[in-house]
Structure 1
Amino acid sequence: MSSEPRSGFSQLCPHGADRVELPGVYGPVAALQGPQPTDPAATVLLVPGYTGSKEDFAPLLDGIAEAGLLPVAIDLPGQYESPGPDDESAYGPAQLGKSVAELVTALSAERPVLLLGHSYGGLVARAAVLAGAPVAGLTLLCSGPSALPPGPRYTALSIGEQLLRTQGVEACYALREQLTAQLSPQIPPPPPELARFLRERFVSTSAASLLGMADALRNEPDLVPDLATALREHDIPALVVAGEHDNAWSVPSQRDMAQRLGVEFVAVPGAAHSPNTEAPHALLKELLPRWHAWLRR
């Protein structure tokens, strides 16, 4: 799940990464890779949320590379520029987690892999670890312990599903824009170039992907105990990060999840559900020192 920022940072933020394709079970996985630092200490695999894409991490890419790490941001299968199956059941966290675990395994042949999942991508990253992904560290960004709680986002998923099934992706996006304007009237509309990108990304995402992920967001079970066991058994360091004003999973619920996992919790000042675009410098200030500490273990 992504939110569209109205600040100086966005999915169109300039960066030095290259558009590449990685091998995937359903076809090429579209990715932004780089910039390439000299002798990177690790690869940072960045997994986006519902209706998101690799571009959600554009404001982070150069900063990660400057810290001596190789960033790789992906579109999940079915998202934007990555192909995916027509089967809605293929887009649950467990199924997508297996594909991410395979990608982690391939990338870890060159160097350690730090895995970050944003929002729905956090549920997928969790599933990847439970599937045995050999990660050197896990970061859950604005993600929760289970399904979304009741509220505007949950309701919008139910309304959107009905419209998506009856009228298609274009109509669903139009409704999404109306709901965004109603729920956040204080936020100005995006600049035309960004608005065009956001629309193109949404309508390019497969309907099966949108429907399957939406179903999981309403029904995902609490797997925190399972993840806690996996982190402990495989000695994987982890971190839970939320924007201080997160409006998807509540900040207290994310803090509680961190406590149950036995890991650190961090709130990013000035951010809501997408610190990667709302406060990227503040987010990197929290992430980079911890990631380097994990790699020195």
Structure 2
Amino acid sequence: MSTPRFLNLPPGVAPQRIETPLGAFAALEALPVSGVVERWPAMLVPGLTGSKEDFIAVMQTLAQSGRRVLAIDLRGQYETPGPDDPEAYTCGALGADVDAIAQVIGHGEPVHLVGHSFGGLVAREAVIDGRTKFASFTLMSSGPSAITGQRAHNGRKIMKELPEHGLEHVWHTRIEPEALANGVPDEIVTFLRKRLLANSPTGLARMAEEVLSMHDRTEELRQIEVPTLVLFGEHDDGWPADVQRHMAARLGAERMVVPGAVHSPAVEAPETTAQALVRFWNAAESASWT
């Protein structure tokens, strides 16, 4: 399990709340510590059991490229409340939320969109639906369809155990043992518990169902012709590396394999990941201006 550097926010990073016609969303906003905002903004979407804090380690570097950068909590995640209706947590419904947030933070400008893991499937819906013009799209450790392997096994366990036993059971039997086995510091374990228990149980169960059943929309995404980057760790234990490489080829997308990283490059290799994103975003903007 990867853990965010959340205890001390870097200079230029602060909590925000984004008001949209679909509701309010918790966010972390990063602005340049020096210089001005002169490039298009970026929006970062977390994975299934994650939150905006998963991006803290990259946000200052991303903002220093001259951008406003926002990492969000999806509906039902951590500090963004959500309803008890399972249909509010389909990829399509969450993608509509991403559209609404992007339209607010873009102020008429295109927005660079990054989706991590399950967040990539959600963000893909927003790109494909065509309601928002995105400057670029990055699939970070995310695949073309349903997740596989051990993470799929964990997702099925969550779906089965949540309705009967609740979030505390998921914490004590799944997430806490993994954190302790990996030597995660006590203060971060405390945060991870707080974050998990703040999730909507209905939302988490439905999101798990979505990530286990998502169909392949690669050809539909290709038709949008948005500049796309497929970025993943060389040891990714979510979607296999070969699957993500093949998806990138089908999309005609750029590909970046992050050395040493597993499933959370923004946490495990933040500087490499941030620099790759900045290069990709700058190139996408330059191409649009020529």
Shared fold, TM over 0.5? yes
What are the equivalent positions in structure 2 for 1:1-297 lying under 5 Å apart? Answer: 3-5=1-3, 10-12=5-7, 14-15=9-10, 16-36=12-32, 38-132=36-130, 133-149=132-148, 151-177=149-175, 180=178, 185=181, 187-188=182-183, 190-231=184-225, 236-297=226-287
Cα pair 1:173 1:199 within 8 Å, conserved: yes
Cα pair 1:20 1:31 within 8 Å, conserved: yes
Q: Give the drift of 1:178.
A: 5.8
Q: Distance in 1 between matches of 2:261 and 2:127?
A: 27
Cα pair 2:37 2:68 within 8 Å, conserved: no
Distance change (3 Å), C-alpha of 1:243 and 1:12: farther
The aligned amino acid for 2:232 is A
Q: Distance in 2 between matches of 1:83 and 1:261?
A: 34
Q: Deviations over 1:111-167 (max 9, x none)?
A: 331000000010011000012121011011000000012x22111222222221111
Higher mean alpha-carbon deviation, 32-41 vs 268-277, is at 32-41
The aligned amino acid for 1:14 is L
Cα pair 1:130 1:227 within 8 Å, conserved: yes
Q: Deviations over 1:49-87 (max 9, x none)?
A: 001100000001110111111110000000000011211
Q: Give the drift of 1:12.
A: 3.5
Q: Deviations over 1:154-184 (max 9, x none)?
A: 1122222222111111111111136636xx9
Q: Give the drift of 1:110.
A: 4.9
Root-mean-square deviation (CA, aligned residues, Å) is: 1.7
Cα pair 1:26 1:83 within 8 Å, conserved: no
Q: Distance in 2 between matches of 1:91 and 1:119?
A: 15
Percent identity, aligned pairs only, is: 38
Secondary structure of the 1:136 match is: strand
The aligned amino acid for 1:153 is R
Q: Distance in 2 between matches of 1:34 and 1:208?
A: 31
Q: Distance in 1 between matches of 2:7 and 2:223?
A: 39
Secondary structure of the 1:296 match is: helix
Secondary structure of the 2:134 match is: coil
Stretches of structure 1 that go unaligned for 5 or more consecutive residues are none
Q: TM-score, normalised by structure 1?
A: 0.91
Q: TM-score, normalised by structure 2?
A: 0.93
Secondary structure of the 1:202 match is: helix
Aligned residues: 283
